Protein backbone atom coordinates (compact mmCIF):
# COMPACT_ATOMS: atom_id res chain seq x y z
CA UNK A 1 0.00 0.00 0.00
CA UNK A 2 1.35 3.42 -0.87
CA UNK A 3 0.32 7.02 -1.27
CA UNK A 4 0.44 8.21 -4.86
CA UNK A 5 0.44 11.62 -6.53
CA UNK A 6 -0.66 12.26 -10.11
CA UNK A 7 0.45 15.54 -11.70
CA UNK A 8 -1.93 17.15 -14.18
CA UNK A 9 -5.56 18.13 -14.63
CA UNK A 10 -6.93 16.66 -17.83
CA UNK A 11 -8.85 13.64 -19.04
CA UNK A 12 -5.59 11.69 -19.07
CA UNK A 13 -5.03 12.37 -15.39
CA UNK A 14 -8.62 11.54 -14.44
CA UNK A 15 -8.15 8.21 -16.23
CA UNK A 16 -4.89 7.55 -14.37
CA UNK A 17 -6.69 8.38 -11.12
CA UNK A 18 -9.57 6.06 -11.99
CA UNK A 19 -7.19 3.19 -12.77
CA UNK A 20 -4.79 3.69 -9.86
CA UNK A 21 -7.60 4.13 -7.33
CA UNK A 22 -8.87 0.63 -8.21
CA UNK A 23 -5.60 -0.93 -7.06
CA UNK A 24 -5.29 -2.76 -3.75
CA UNK A 25 -1.87 -1.16 -3.56
CA UNK A 26 -3.09 2.42 -3.57
CA UNK A 27 -3.61 3.91 -0.15
CA UNK A 28 -4.19 7.66 -0.51
CA UNK A 29 -4.38 9.20 -3.97
CA UNK A 30 -3.62 12.87 -4.69
CA UNK A 31 -3.99 14.79 -7.93
CA UNK A 32 -2.37 18.17 -8.48
CA UNK A 33 -4.11 20.28 -9.56
CA UNK A 34 -6.86 17.86 -10.77
CA UNK A 35 -10.42 18.63 -11.85
CA UNK A 36 -14.01 17.97 -10.77
CA UNK A 37 -13.71 14.32 -11.82
CA UNK A 38 -10.54 13.58 -9.87
CA UNK A 39 -12.02 15.38 -6.82
CA UNK A 40 -14.52 12.52 -6.50
CA UNK A 41 -11.95 9.72 -6.35
CA UNK A 42 -8.82 11.43 -5.01
CA UNK A 43 -7.74 14.52 -3.12
CA UNK A 44 -7.05 17.50 -5.36
CA UNK A 45 -4.21 19.77 -4.32
CA UNK A 46 -4.10 23.18 -5.90
CA UNK A 47 -0.48 23.47 -7.00
CA UNK A 48 1.11 23.96 -10.39
CA UNK A 49 2.75 20.94 -12.02
CA UNK A 50 5.94 22.92 -12.62
CA UNK A 51 6.24 24.27 -9.07
CA UNK A 52 8.71 21.58 -7.96
CA UNK A 53 9.17 23.12 -4.51
CA UNK A 54 5.43 22.86 -3.84
CA UNK A 55 5.42 19.30 -5.18
CA UNK A 56 8.27 18.42 -2.81
CA UNK A 57 6.43 19.89 0.18
CA UNK A 58 3.32 17.90 -0.70
CA UNK A 59 5.24 14.66 -1.20
CA UNK A 60 6.99 14.97 2.17
CA UNK A 61 3.92 16.15 4.05
CA UNK A 62 1.73 13.30 2.76
CA UNK A 63 4.31 10.50 2.67
CA UNK A 64 3.90 10.04 -1.07
CA UNK A 65 5.96 7.17 -2.49
CA UNK A 66 5.08 7.41 -6.16
CA UNK A 67 4.59 10.36 -8.52
CA UNK A 68 2.97 9.79 -11.90
CA UNK A 69 3.67 12.70 -14.25
CA UNK A 70 0.83 13.37 -16.72
CA UNK A 71 1.93 16.26 -18.99
CA UNK A 72 5.27 16.97 -20.68
CA UNK A 73 6.14 20.35 -19.18
CA UNK A 74 7.40 19.15 -15.78
CA UNK A 75 9.36 16.37 -17.51
CA UNK A 76 11.04 18.71 -19.96
CA UNK A 77 11.82 21.00 -17.01
CA UNK A 78 13.47 18.10 -15.21
CA UNK A 79 11.16 16.93 -12.43
CA UNK A 80 12.68 13.44 -12.49
CA UNK A 81 16.18 14.88 -11.93
CA UNK A 82 14.82 17.17 -9.21
CA UNK A 83 13.67 14.06 -7.33
CA UNK A 84 16.76 11.97 -8.08
CA UNK A 85 19.12 14.69 -6.87
CA UNK A 86 17.26 15.46 -3.64
CA UNK A 87 18.32 13.60 -0.50
CA UNK A 88 14.74 13.51 0.84
CA UNK A 89 13.04 12.61 -2.45
CA UNK A 90 15.45 10.06 -3.90
CA UNK A 91 13.37 7.09 -2.71
CA UNK A 92 10.20 8.31 -4.39
CA UNK A 93 9.30 6.47 -7.62
CA UNK A 94 8.82 8.94 -10.45
CA UNK A 95 6.95 7.61 -13.48
CA UNK A 96 8.37 9.83 -16.20
CA UNK A 97 11.78 10.18 -17.87
CA UNK A 98 14.77 12.31 -16.93
CA UNK A 99 15.32 15.68 -18.56
CA UNK A 100 17.60 14.13 -21.19
CA UNK A 101 14.92 11.58 -22.01
CA UNK A 102 12.23 14.26 -22.18
CA UNK A 103 14.23 16.05 -24.88
CA UNK A 104 12.78 13.52 -27.31
CA UNK A 105 9.61 15.59 -27.01
CA UNK A 106 11.17 18.89 -25.92
CA UNK A 107 13.28 19.23 -29.06
CA UNK A 108 12.17 18.05 -32.49
CA UNK A 109 15.76 18.44 -33.72
CA UNK A 110 17.04 16.17 -30.94
CA UNK A 111 14.31 13.62 -31.76
CA UNK A 112 15.34 13.60 -35.43
CA UNK A 113 19.02 13.21 -34.50
CA UNK A 114 18.15 10.32 -32.18
CA UNK A 115 16.22 8.58 -34.95
CA UNK A 116 19.02 9.13 -37.48
CA UNK A 117 21.61 7.79 -35.04
CA UNK A 118 19.62 4.64 -34.24
CA UNK A 119 18.32 3.98 -37.76
CA UNK A 120 14.68 4.54 -36.91
CA UNK A 121 12.51 5.24 -39.98
CA UNK A 122 11.23 8.83 -40.15
CA UNK A 123 10.81 11.59 -42.72
CA UNK A 124 14.02 13.01 -44.23
CA UNK A 125 14.83 16.41 -42.71
CA UNK A 126 17.23 19.28 -42.15
CA UNK A 127 17.17 21.89 -39.42
CA UNK A 128 17.81 25.62 -39.64
CA UNK A 129 18.29 28.71 -37.45
CA UNK A 130 18.05 32.45 -38.17
CA UNK A 131 21.67 32.36 -39.42
CA UNK A 132 20.84 29.66 -41.97
CA UNK A 133 17.50 31.08 -43.10
CA UNK A 134 18.60 31.40 -46.72
CA UNK A 135 19.84 27.80 -46.75
CA UNK A 136 16.44 26.81 -45.34
CA UNK A 137 14.67 28.54 -48.21
CA UNK A 138 17.00 26.83 -50.67
CA UNK A 139 16.20 23.48 -49.02
CA UNK A 140 12.49 24.15 -49.48
CA UNK A 141 13.19 24.65 -53.20
CA UNK A 142 14.42 21.05 -53.38
CA UNK A 143 11.25 19.59 -51.80
CA UNK A 144 7.81 18.93 -53.23
CA UNK A 145 4.59 20.39 -51.84
CA UNK A 146 3.22 20.12 -49.17
CA UNK A 147 5.98 21.53 -46.95
CA UNK A 148 6.30 20.54 -43.27
CA UNK A 149 7.83 23.11 -40.88
CA UNK A 150 8.29 22.25 -37.21
CA UNK A 151 9.30 24.58 -34.41
CA UNK A 152 12.00 22.75 -32.48
CA UNK A 153 10.66 23.39 -28.97
CA UNK A 154 7.37 22.93 -27.14
CA UNK A 155 4.65 25.11 -28.68
CA UNK A 156 1.48 23.73 -27.08
CA UNK A 157 0.77 21.55 -30.11
CA UNK A 158 0.75 24.52 -32.50
CA UNK A 159 4.36 24.39 -33.68
CA UNK A 160 3.85 22.28 -36.81
CA UNK A 161 2.83 23.98 -40.06
CA UNK A 162 1.90 22.11 -43.22
CA UNK A 163 1.81 24.40 -46.25
CA UNK A 164 0.82 23.74 -49.84
CA UNK A 165 2.49 26.75 -51.37
CA UNK A 166 6.27 27.26 -51.68
CA UNK A 167 6.20 31.05 -51.26
CA UNK A 168 4.00 30.70 -48.19
CA UNK A 169 6.34 28.06 -46.76
CA UNK A 170 9.32 30.41 -47.20
CA UNK A 171 7.42 33.28 -45.59
CA UNK A 172 6.44 31.11 -42.61
CA UNK A 173 10.01 29.85 -42.24
CA UNK A 174 11.15 33.47 -42.06
CA UNK A 175 8.38 34.21 -39.58
CA UNK A 176 9.46 31.37 -37.33
CA UNK A 177 13.21 31.98 -37.50
CA UNK A 178 13.61 35.72 -37.92
CA UNK A 179 10.41 36.94 -36.23
CA UNK A 180 10.28 34.17 -33.60
CA UNK A 181 6.67 33.30 -34.33
CA UNK A 182 6.73 30.69 -31.54
CA UNK A 183 9.25 32.53 -29.37
CA UNK A 184 12.24 30.50 -28.22
CA UNK A 185 10.54 27.33 -29.49
CA UNK A 186 11.12 28.38 -33.12
CA UNK A 187 14.73 29.55 -32.84
CA UNK A 188 15.44 26.28 -34.61
CA UNK A 189 13.07 24.88 -37.25
CA UNK A 190 13.03 21.37 -38.65
CA UNK A 191 11.93 21.13 -42.27
CA UNK A 192 10.93 17.66 -43.31
CA UNK A 193 9.60 15.57 -46.12
CA UNK A 194 5.81 15.20 -46.15
CA UNK A 195 4.63 11.64 -45.52
CA UNK A 196 1.30 10.58 -46.92
CA UNK A 197 -0.50 7.93 -44.93
CA UNK A 198 -2.74 7.16 -41.96
CA UNK A 199 -1.66 7.99 -38.40
CA UNK A 200 -1.82 5.99 -35.20
CA UNK A 201 -0.34 6.14 -31.71
CA UNK A 202 1.75 3.42 -30.14
CA UNK A 203 2.51 3.55 -26.42
CA UNK A 204 5.43 1.87 -24.77
CA UNK A 205 6.10 1.68 -21.06
CA UNK A 206 9.77 1.21 -20.23
CA UNK A 207 12.13 1.00 -17.27
CA UNK A 208 14.96 2.05 -19.57
CA UNK A 209 15.91 -1.49 -20.52
CA UNK A 210 12.78 -3.66 -20.61
CA UNK A 211 9.54 -2.50 -22.18
CA UNK A 212 5.94 -3.45 -22.72
CA UNK A 213 3.84 -2.27 -25.61
CA UNK A 214 0.43 -0.98 -24.57
CA UNK A 215 -2.70 -1.17 -26.72
CA UNK A 216 -2.61 0.96 -29.90
CA UNK A 217 -4.91 3.94 -30.34
CA UNK A 218 -5.92 6.44 -32.96
CA UNK A 219 -6.93 9.96 -32.10
CA UNK A 220 -8.82 12.58 -34.07
CA UNK A 221 -7.00 15.89 -33.87
CA UNK A 222 -9.01 18.26 -36.08
CA UNK A 223 -11.99 20.20 -34.76
CA UNK A 224 -14.19 19.56 -37.81
CA UNK A 225 -15.84 16.47 -39.23
CA UNK A 226 -13.94 14.74 -42.01
CA UNK A 227 -10.68 15.88 -40.35
CA UNK A 228 -11.09 19.52 -41.32
CA UNK A 229 -10.40 22.81 -39.55
CA UNK A 230 -7.94 23.63 -36.79
CA UNK A 231 -5.87 21.20 -34.78
CA UNK A 232 -7.04 20.51 -31.24
CA UNK A 233 -5.65 18.53 -28.32
CA UNK A 234 -7.79 15.64 -29.57
CA UNK A 235 -11.50 15.18 -30.24
CA UNK A 236 -11.78 11.47 -29.56
CA UNK A 237 -9.95 8.17 -29.84
CA UNK A 238 -10.40 4.47 -30.41
CA UNK A 239 -8.39 1.41 -29.35
CA UNK A 240 -7.25 -0.94 -30.78
CA UNK A 241 -6.50 0.42 -34.26
CA UNK A 242 -8.02 -2.01 -36.80
CA UNK A 243 -5.28 -1.57 -39.42
CA UNK A 244 -2.47 -2.15 -36.91
CA UNK A 245 -2.49 -5.91 -37.47
CA UNK A 246 0.15 -8.40 -36.37
CA UNK A 247 2.32 -8.00 -39.50
CA UNK A 248 2.33 -4.22 -39.16
CA UNK A 249 2.96 -4.28 -35.40
CA UNK A 250 5.88 -6.67 -35.88
CA UNK A 251 7.44 -4.06 -38.16
CA UNK A 252 6.74 -1.37 -35.55
CA UNK A 253 8.38 -3.47 -32.86
CA UNK A 254 11.47 -4.45 -34.86
CA UNK A 255 12.11 -1.22 -36.74
CA UNK A 256 10.96 1.33 -34.17
CA UNK A 257 10.28 0.18 -30.61
CA UNK A 258 13.36 -2.01 -30.13
CA UNK A 259 15.85 0.48 -31.62
CA UNK A 260 14.23 3.26 -29.59
CA UNK A 261 14.66 1.45 -26.27
CA UNK A 262 18.14 0.24 -27.23
CA UNK A 263 19.00 3.80 -28.22
CA UNK A 264 17.97 5.08 -24.79
CA UNK A 265 20.07 2.38 -23.17
CA UNK A 266 23.13 3.02 -25.38
CA UNK A 267 22.96 6.72 -24.63
CA UNK A 268 22.60 5.92 -20.91
CA UNK A 269 19.42 7.91 -20.61
CA UNK A 270 17.48 7.39 -17.40
CA UNK A 271 14.02 6.61 -18.75
CA UNK A 272 11.32 5.16 -16.54
CA UNK A 273 8.03 6.08 -18.11
CA UNK A 274 5.97 6.22 -21.27
CA UNK A 275 7.20 6.62 -24.82
CA UNK A 276 4.34 7.76 -27.01
CA UNK A 277 5.29 7.10 -30.62
CA UNK A 278 3.26 9.04 -33.16
CA UNK A 279 3.37 6.88 -36.26
CA UNK A 280 2.24 7.14 -39.83
CA UNK A 281 1.60 4.09 -42.00
CA UNK A 282 2.83 4.80 -45.51
CA UNK A 283 1.88 1.91 -47.76
CA UNK A 284 2.56 -1.01 -45.43
CA UNK A 285 5.44 0.59 -43.55
CA UNK A 286 5.60 2.55 -40.28
CA UNK A 287 7.45 5.88 -39.92
CA UNK A 288 7.84 7.99 -36.81
CA UNK A 289 6.16 11.40 -36.96
CA UNK A 290 7.09 12.35 -33.41
CA UNK A 291 7.98 11.14 -29.97
CA UNK A 292 6.19 12.25 -26.84
CA UNK A 293 7.45 11.33 -23.40
CA UNK A 294 4.07 10.89 -21.72
CA UNK A 295 0.72 9.29 -22.48
CA UNK A 296 -1.56 10.88 -25.07
CA UNK A 297 -4.79 12.66 -24.31
CA UNK A 298 -7.46 11.47 -25.23
CA UNK A 299 -5.69 8.19 -26.11
CA UNK A 300 -5.23 7.43 -22.40
CA UNK A 301 -9.00 7.42 -22.02
CA UNK A 302 -9.19 4.35 -24.29
CA UNK A 303 -5.84 2.67 -23.60
CA UNK A 304 -5.89 2.50 -19.80
CA UNK A 305 -9.48 1.24 -19.41
CA UNK A 306 -8.50 -1.75 -21.61
CA UNK A 307 -5.66 -2.71 -19.27
CA UNK A 308 -6.80 -5.22 -16.67
CA UNK A 309 -3.52 -5.55 -14.79
CA UNK A 310 -2.99 -3.69 -11.51
CA UNK A 311 -1.41 -0.44 -12.68
CA UNK A 312 0.29 0.32 -9.36
CA UNK A 313 2.08 -3.04 -9.52
CA UNK A 314 3.11 -2.35 -13.10
CA UNK A 315 4.49 1.08 -12.12
CA UNK A 316 6.34 -0.46 -9.17
CA UNK A 317 8.08 -2.82 -11.58
CA UNK A 318 9.00 0.15 -13.78
CA UNK A 319 10.56 1.88 -10.77
CA UNK A 320 12.48 -1.26 -9.78
CA UNK A 321 13.74 -1.87 -13.32
CA UNK A 322 11.94 -5.21 -13.44
CA UNK A 323 9.39 -4.63 -16.14
CA UNK A 324 10.43 -7.97 -17.68
CA UNK A 325 8.44 -9.59 -14.86
CA UNK A 326 5.19 -8.01 -16.04
CA UNK A 327 2.73 -9.76 -18.31
CA UNK A 328 0.17 -7.13 -19.20
CA UNK A 329 -3.47 -8.23 -19.26
CA UNK A 330 -5.57 -6.39 -21.83
CA UNK A 331 -9.25 -6.89 -22.63
CA UNK A 332 -10.23 -8.07 -26.10
CA UNK A 333 -12.98 -5.46 -26.10
CA UNK A 334 -12.56 -2.30 -28.12
CA UNK A 335 -12.82 1.11 -26.47
CA UNK A 336 -13.81 4.49 -27.87
CA UNK A 337 -13.94 7.94 -26.36
CA UNK A 338 -15.79 11.03 -27.61
CA UNK A 339 -14.54 14.39 -26.38
CA UNK A 340 -17.13 17.07 -25.58
CA UNK A 341 -15.70 20.55 -26.04
CA UNK A 342 -16.70 24.16 -25.40
CA UNK A 343 -18.17 25.95 -28.44
CA UNK A 344 -15.44 28.01 -30.13
CA UNK A 345 -12.57 25.72 -29.06
CA UNK A 346 -9.69 25.57 -30.10
CA UNK A 347 -10.04 29.34 -30.47
CA UNK A 348 -11.92 31.53 -27.99
CA UNK A 349 -14.58 29.90 -25.84
CA UNK A 350 -16.48 30.65 -22.64
CA UNK A 351 -15.99 28.91 -19.30
CA UNK A 352 -18.07 28.47 -16.18
CA UNK A 353 -21.05 26.73 -17.84
CA UNK A 354 -22.91 24.24 -15.67
CA UNK A 355 -22.74 20.62 -16.86
CA UNK A 356 -25.79 18.43 -16.31
CA UNK A 357 -26.90 14.91 -17.18
CA UNK A 358 -24.20 12.86 -15.44
CA UNK A 359 -26.84 10.75 -13.70
CA UNK A 360 -28.46 9.87 -17.05
CA UNK A 361 -25.32 8.22 -18.43
CA UNK A 362 -25.53 4.43 -18.69
CA UNK A 363 -22.85 2.05 -19.84
CA UNK A 364 -20.12 4.62 -20.46
CA UNK A 365 -17.51 6.16 -18.21
CA UNK A 366 -17.27 9.94 -18.23
CA UNK A 367 -13.75 11.25 -17.70
CA UNK A 368 -13.40 14.91 -16.83
CA UNK A 369 -10.94 17.21 -18.57
CA UNK A 370 -11.69 20.93 -18.24
CA UNK A 371 -14.08 20.91 -15.29
CA UNK A 372 -14.19 22.32 -11.78
CA UNK A 373 -16.50 22.04 -8.81
CA UNK A 374 -18.26 25.06 -7.36
CA UNK A 375 -20.97 24.76 -4.68
CA UNK A 376 -21.71 21.13 -5.63
CA UNK A 377 -22.07 22.10 -9.28
CA UNK A 378 -19.76 20.89 -12.04
CA UNK A 379 -18.72 23.76 -14.29
CA UNK A 380 -16.72 23.88 -17.52
CA UNK A 381 -13.23 25.31 -17.11
CA UNK A 382 -11.47 24.51 -20.37
CA UNK A 383 -11.78 23.79 -24.08
CA UNK A 384 -11.91 20.04 -23.80
CA UNK A 385 -14.47 19.38 -21.09
CA UNK A 386 -15.39 15.69 -20.91
CA UNK A 387 -14.37 12.41 -22.56
CA UNK A 388 -17.10 9.77 -22.79
CA UNK A 389 -15.50 6.31 -22.93
CA UNK A 390 -17.27 3.04 -23.77
CA UNK A 391 -16.45 -0.56 -24.57
CA UNK A 392 -17.83 -2.64 -27.43
CA UNK A 393 -17.10 -5.74 -29.47
CA UNK A 394 -15.56 -3.40 -32.02
CA UNK A 395 -14.88 0.34 -32.22
CA UNK A 396 -18.19 0.99 -33.98
CA UNK A 397 -20.20 -0.48 -31.14
CA UNK A 398 -18.09 1.36 -28.59
CA UNK A 399 -18.54 4.66 -30.43
CA UNK A 400 -22.29 4.14 -30.69
CA UNK A 401 -22.55 3.77 -26.92
CA UNK A 402 -20.43 6.89 -26.34
CA UNK A 403 -22.59 8.89 -28.74
CA UNK A 404 -25.78 7.70 -27.02
CA UNK A 405 -24.42 8.93 -23.71
CA UNK A 406 -22.93 12.15 -25.11
CA UNK A 407 -26.49 13.16 -25.96
CA UNK A 408 -27.47 12.94 -22.31
CA UNK A 409 -24.80 15.40 -21.18
CA UNK A 410 -25.40 19.11 -21.52
CA UNK A 411 -23.71 22.45 -21.21
CA UNK A 412 -24.19 25.70 -23.09
CA UNK A 413 -22.52 25.59 -26.56
CA UNK A 414 -21.34 21.98 -26.15
CA UNK A 415 -19.83 20.52 -29.34
CA UNK A 416 -18.46 17.15 -30.39
CA UNK A 417 -17.53 15.40 -33.61
CA UNK A 418 -20.12 12.88 -34.76
CA UNK A 419 -17.97 11.20 -37.41
CA UNK A 420 -15.21 9.49 -35.40
CA UNK A 421 -13.98 6.35 -37.12
CA UNK A 422 -15.04 7.67 -40.53
CA UNK A 423 -11.62 6.95 -42.04
CA UNK A 424 -11.29 3.33 -40.91
P1 LIG B 1 3.55 16.67 -34.53
O2 LIG B 1 3.33 17.80 -33.58
O3 LIG B 1 4.97 16.41 -34.87
O4 LIG B 1 2.76 15.45 -34.15
O5 LIG B 1 2.85 17.11 -35.88
C6 LIG B 1 1.47 17.45 -35.89
C7 LIG B 1 0.78 16.77 -37.04
O8 LIG B 1 1.35 17.21 -38.27
C9 LIG B 1 0.92 15.27 -37.06
O10 LIG B 1 0.00 14.63 -36.26
C11 LIG B 1 0.73 14.96 -38.53
O12 LIG B 1 -0.65 14.93 -38.85
C13 LIG B 1 1.34 16.15 -39.21
N14 LIG B 1 2.71 15.87 -39.64
C15 LIG B 1 3.84 16.09 -38.95
N16 LIG B 1 4.92 15.72 -39.64
C17 LIG B 1 4.50 15.24 -40.83
C18 LIG B 1 5.13 14.71 -41.98
N19 LIG B 1 6.46 14.62 -42.08
N20 LIG B 1 4.36 14.32 -42.99
C21 LIG B 1 3.00 14.43 -42.92
N22 LIG B 1 2.34 14.93 -41.86
C23 LIG B 1 3.07 15.34 -40.83
N1 LIG C 1 -3.55 13.25 -28.51
C2 LIG C 1 -2.25 13.68 -28.84
C3 LIG C 1 -1.42 14.09 -27.70
O4 LIG C 1 -1.69 13.83 -26.56
O5 LIG C 1 -0.38 14.72 -27.95
What is the whole-number distance in angstroms between the Cα of residue 221 and the centre of ligand 2?
Answer: 8
CA distances from 210 to 110, 127, 318 (A): 23, 32, 9
pTM, full prediction: 0.95
Position 318 pLDDT exceeds 90: yes
pLDDT at 158 (0 to 100): 78
| 352-406 per-position pLDDT tens digit | 999 999 999 999 999 999 999 999 999 999 999 999 999 999 999 999 999 999 9
The predicted model gives 303-329 an average pLDDT of 97
Domain annotation for the chain: domains and CATH numbers? 2-98 (3.40.50.20), 125-192 (3.30.1490.20)
Pairing type for strands 43-44 and 228-231 reads: unpaired
pLDDT at 186 (0 to 100): 85
pLDDT at 154 (0 to 100): 87
**Residue 297 to residue 160: CA distance in whole angstroms:** 18
| 136-151 per-position pLDDT tens digit | 999 999 999 999 999 9
Least confident of 10-19, 32-41, 137-146, 264-273: 137-146
What's the mean per-residue pLDDT of the chain?
A: 96
pLDDT at 213 (0 to 100): 98
The predicted model gives 246-274 an average pLDDT of 98
Ligand nearest to the CA of 108: 1
Residue 209's contacts (CB-CB under 8 Å, 6 or more residues apart) are 261, 265, 321, 323
State whether the Cα torsion 154-292-96-310 is positive or negative: positive
Residue identifier of the C-alpha nearest atom 3 of ligand 2 = 296
pLDDT at 30 (0 to 100): 98
Residue 261's contacts (CB-CB under 8 Å, 6 or more residues apart) are 204, 206, 208, 209, 211, 275
Task: State which ligand 2 atom lies nearest to the alpha carbon of 234.
Answer: 1
Closest CA to 169 of 230, 128, 212: 128
| 398-422 per-position pLDDT tens digit | 999 999 999 999 999 999 999 999 9
Residue 33 pairs in a beta bridge with 8
The predicted model gives 6-22 an average pLDDT of 98
| 84-122 per-position pLDDT tens digit | 999 999 999 999 999 999 999 999 999 999 999 999 999
**Residue 199 to residue 244: CA distance in whole angstroms:** 10
Q: What percentage of the chain exceeds 70 in pLDDT?
A: 100
| Whether residue 301 has its Cβ less than 6 Å from ligand 2 | no
| 189-207 per-position pLDDT tens digit | 999 999 999 999 999 999 9
What is the whole-number distance in angstroms between the Cα of residue 298 and the centre of ligand 2?
Answer: 7
Amino acid sequence: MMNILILGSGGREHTFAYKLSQSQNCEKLFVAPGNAGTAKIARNVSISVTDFKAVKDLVLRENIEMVVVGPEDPLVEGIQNFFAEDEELRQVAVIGPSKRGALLEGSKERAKEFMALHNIPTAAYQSFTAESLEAGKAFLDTLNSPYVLKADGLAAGKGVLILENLQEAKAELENMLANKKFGKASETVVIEEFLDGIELSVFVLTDGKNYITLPTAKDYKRIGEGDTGLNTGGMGAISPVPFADKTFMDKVENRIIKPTIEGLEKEEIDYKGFVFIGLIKVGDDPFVIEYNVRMGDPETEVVLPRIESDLVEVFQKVAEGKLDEVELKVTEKAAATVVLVSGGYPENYEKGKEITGFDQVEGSHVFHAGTRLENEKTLTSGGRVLAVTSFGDDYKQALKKSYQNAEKLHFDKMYYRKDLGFDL
